[in-house]
């Protein structure tokens, strides 16, 4: 093994992950990561036969299972039903913003935040088009609320899933620790959006708008909600989250009404491939000793102050994305005097950091990409000028909370 070659390949790979692609090459984060793995194998930096050893199968199974659950909810019409209910209740811009933020935040905690953004972005765009209002503040609120809300649970986002499997923290303990940060964060988000877009949120009511009637598969929706309730009960009872989610997904696959290919067509297969490749790339860093050298170079140790660790995590999450940051930092967290406090800080900081820029999380990019198809330009700087304030305030409050009650 040659450390220089390993470091060069992985740096090149993380550069592509940060950009979302390699310039002038038809690629995405999944293909960039797989090409990085291929280069590591081709240059003899990791043995091909040892690749499965680097995979975190519990996390991959959890992610796969949650995709089955989300696919069933989507096909049944749950997310569209929830979105339409939101728009019918809210009759003023401020009320809509508040309801949007808290509904998206709650749903993102229960389900994957990326899925919530996929469901709600078209609904918000349709609502704002009909109302002849700018969708930009509502889109920023959607992405930020999805990120903040997902911090509350072990199944809210991919990096929390990794932390849940690695740490062994129970679902209830994790949520009890981070839910206050999430609720405060959602309130702060509402206030910041009002501050940045005062003209949009004057007390003018929305005109009457017509939203398409939602087709709901009632029997499928009822069955899925029963399974979801059982899954949440299993989480609270302390059943390992990957095992509980897998069994719940198996129950949902017993059906006489929905063809399996319709469920699997809803999957984000690229995300699963991206994770598998990322586990291998991060494993190569650790196996070759590069992670240890990096931590020594920046003086990141088990005695590191919570503020330094929190803001370093946030910075690294925006440099290489939050999931790679968690994979890089999890080895140092296990050496902390109180690993649980370290895991909670890592979860909060890596998730809240996703609001800093448009590139900070996949949820942000999903919102921006869908908006582009509607000819709405949610650009990097428009998002970042708001996201910077959101991140600094929520990260500061989150770190204060953890410092006072867990460190």
- Asked whether the beta carbons of 374 and 336 are under 8 A apart, the reply is no
Q: Is 25 part of a structural domain of the chain?
A: no
Per-residue pLDDT tens over the stretch 45-85:
899 998 999 898 888 888 888 889 888 888 888 877 876 77
Q: Is 96 part of a structural domain of the chain?
A: yes
- Asked whether the beta carbons of 231 and 248 are under 8 A apart, the reply is yes
CA distance readout (Å), 46 to 35, 273, 278, 323: 14, 18, 14, 21
Per-residue pLDDT tens over the stretch 184-241:
999 999 999 999 999 888 767 766 654 556 678 888 899 999 998 998 899 888 888 8
Contacts of 11 (CB under 8 A, 6+ apart): none
Q: What's the pLDDT score for residue 303?
A: 62
> Which domain range does residue 129 map to?
50-405
- CA dist., res. 404 & res. 407, Å (int): 7
DSSP state of 212: P
Task: Give me the number of domains the chain comprises.
Answer: 1
Q: Is 116 part of a structural domain of the chain?
A: yes
Q: Is 1 part of a structural domain of the chain?
A: no
Q: What's the pLDDT score for residue 383?
A: 92
Q: Is 142 part of a structural domain of the chain?
A: yes
Q: Tokens 């609270």 sit at which residue?
A: 236
Q: Is 246 part of a structural domain of the chain?
A: yes
For residue 331, pLDDT beyond 60: yes
The mean of the pLDDT values for the chain is 86
Q: Is 278 part of a structural domain of the chain?
A: yes
- Asked whether the beta carbons of 77 and 212 are under 8 A apart, the reply is no
Q: What's the pLDDT score for residue 214?
A: 67
Q: Is 4 part of a structural domain of the chain?
A: no
């Amino acid at each position: 093994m040659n450390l220089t070659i390993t470091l060069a390949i992985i740096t090149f790979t993380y550069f592509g992950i940060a950009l979302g692609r390699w310039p002038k090459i038809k690629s995405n984060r999944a293909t960039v990561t797989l090409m990085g793995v291929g280069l590591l194998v081709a240059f003899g930096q990791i043995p091909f036969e040892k690749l499965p050893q680097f995979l975190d199968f519990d996390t991959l199974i959890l992610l796969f299972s949650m995709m089955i659950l989300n696919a069933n909810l989507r096909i049944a019409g749950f997310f569209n039903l929830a979105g339409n209910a939101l728009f019918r209740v809210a009759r003023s811009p401020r009320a809509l913003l508040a309801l949007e933020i808290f509904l998206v935040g709650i749903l993102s905690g229960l389900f994957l935040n990326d899925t919530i953004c996929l469901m709600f972005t078209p609904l918000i765009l349709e609502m704002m088009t009909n109302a002849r209002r700018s969708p930009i503040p509502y889109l920023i609120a959607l992405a930020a609320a999805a990120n903040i809300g997902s911090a509350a649970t072990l199944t809210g986002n991919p990096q929390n899933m990794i932390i849940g499997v690695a740490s062994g923290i129970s679902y209830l303990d994790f949520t009890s620790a981070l839910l206050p940060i999430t609720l405060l964060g959602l309130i702060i988000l509402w206030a910041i959006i009002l501050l940045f877009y005062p003209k949009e949120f004057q007390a003018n009511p929305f005109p009457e708008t017509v939203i398409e009637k939602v087709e709901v598969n009632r029997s499928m929706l009822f069955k899925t909600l029963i399974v979801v309730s059982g899954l949440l009960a299993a989480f609270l009872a302390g059943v390992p989250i990957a095992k509980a989610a897998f069994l719940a997904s198996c129950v949902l696959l017993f059906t006489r009404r929905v063809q399996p290919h319709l469920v699997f067509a809803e999957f984000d297969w690229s995300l699963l491939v991206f994770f598998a490749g990322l586990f291998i790339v991060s494993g190569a860093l650790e196996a070759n000793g590069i992670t240890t050298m990096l931590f020594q170079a920046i003086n990141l140790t088990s005695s590191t102050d919570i503020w330094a660790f929190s803001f370093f995590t946030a910075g690294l999450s925006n440099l290489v994305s939050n999931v790679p940051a968690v994979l890089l930092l999890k080895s140092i967290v296990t050496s902390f005097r109180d690993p649980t406090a370290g895991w909670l800080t890592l979860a909060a900081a890596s998730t809240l950091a996703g609001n800093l820029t448009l590139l900070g999380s996949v949820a942000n990019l999903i919102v921006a990409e869908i908006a582009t198809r509607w000819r709405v330009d949610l650009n990097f700087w428009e998002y970042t000028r708001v996201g910077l304030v959101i991140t600094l305030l929520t990260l500061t409050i989150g770190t204060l909370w953890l410092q006072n009650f867990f460190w």
